[in-house]
Structure 1
Amino acid sequence: MSDTKTAVVTGSSSGIGLGIVEGFAARGMNIVMNGIEPPEQIEPLRQEIEKVSGGKAVYCHANIMKPEGVDTLISTALEAFGSVDVLVNNAGIQHVAPVEEFPQDKWDAIIALNLSAAFHTTRAVVPGMKASGWGRIINIASAHGLVASPFKSAYVSAKHGLVGLTKTVALEVAEHGITVNAICPGYVWTPLVEKQIPDTAEAHGITEEEVKRDVLLAAQPTKEFVSVEHMAAIANFLCSDDASSITGASLPVDGGWVAQ
Structure 2
Amino acid sequence: MSQNNVTPPTVTRDNIYTFSDESFTDRNVCLVTGAASGIGRATALAAAGNGLTVAATDVDEAGLEGTVDRGTDLGLEGTITSIPGNLTVDDDLERIVEEAAELGDLTYLANVAGMQHIDSIDSFPMETYDRMHRIMLRAPLYLSKLCIPHFQGGENGEGCVGNMASVHGHYVTSDKVAYNVSKFGLRGLTQSIAAEGDGLIRAFSISTAYVKTPLVTAQLEDTAEQRGISVDEVIEDVMLGQSRVKEMMEPIDVANLFLLGFSDLGRHLDGGDLLFDGGMTLTYE
Provide the TM-score with structure 1 as the length reference.
Answer: 0.90
1:254 and 2:277 correspond: yes
Amino acid at match of 2:172: A
User: Would the aligned equivalents of 2:211 and 2:251 in 1 still touch at CA under 8 Å?
Assistant: yes
Letter in 1 for 2:279: G
Whether 2:160 is the aligned partner of 1:136: answer yes
RCO comparison, higher one (Cα < 8 Å, 6+): 2
CA contact (8 A) 1:6 1:84 kept: yes
Instruction: Note the 1:1-260 alignment, pairs <5 A.
Output: 1-2=21-22, 3-4=25-26, 5-38=28-61, 42-50=64-72, 52-79=75-102, 81-132=103-154, 133-175=157-199, 177-194=200-217, 197=220, 206=230, 208=232, 210-260=233-283
Distance, in Å, in 2 between the alignment partners of 1:182 and 1:18 is: 18
Q: Distance in 1 between matches of 2:61 and 2:158?
A: 33
Q: Displacement, 1:170?
A: 0.6
- Post-superposition Cα deviations, 1:32-57, rounded to whole Å, max 9, x if no partner, equal 11111235x54353133145332321
Cα displacement string for residues 179-207 of structure 1 (whole angstroms, at most 9, x for unaligned residues) = 10000111001244345557877995647
Counterpart amino acid of 1:97?
D
- CA distance in 1: counterparts of 2:219 and 2:138, whole angstroms: 27
Work out the CA distance in 1 between the residues paired with 2:128 and 2:215: 19
State the secondary structure of the residue aligned to 1:180: strand
Q: Which aligned segments of 4 or more residues in structure 1 are displaced greater than 4 angstroms? A: 195-207
Aligned equivalents of 2:259 and 2:153: distance in 1? Answer: 22
Matched pairs, number: 256
Confirm or deny: 8 A CA contact 2:160 2:262 kept in the other structure.
yes
Hey, what's the Cα distance between the residues in 1 that align with 2:175 and 2:217? 21
Structure 2 Cα separation of the partners of residues 143 and 87 of structure 1: 21
- TM (normalized to structure 2)? 0.83
Structure 2 unmatched runs, 5+: 1-20
Structure with the higher fraction of residues in helix conformation: 1
Give the direction of change, closer, same or farther, for the CA distance of 1:29–1:103 in structure 2 (3 Å limit).
Answer: same
Q: Distance in 1 between matches of 2:242 and 2:64?
A: 34
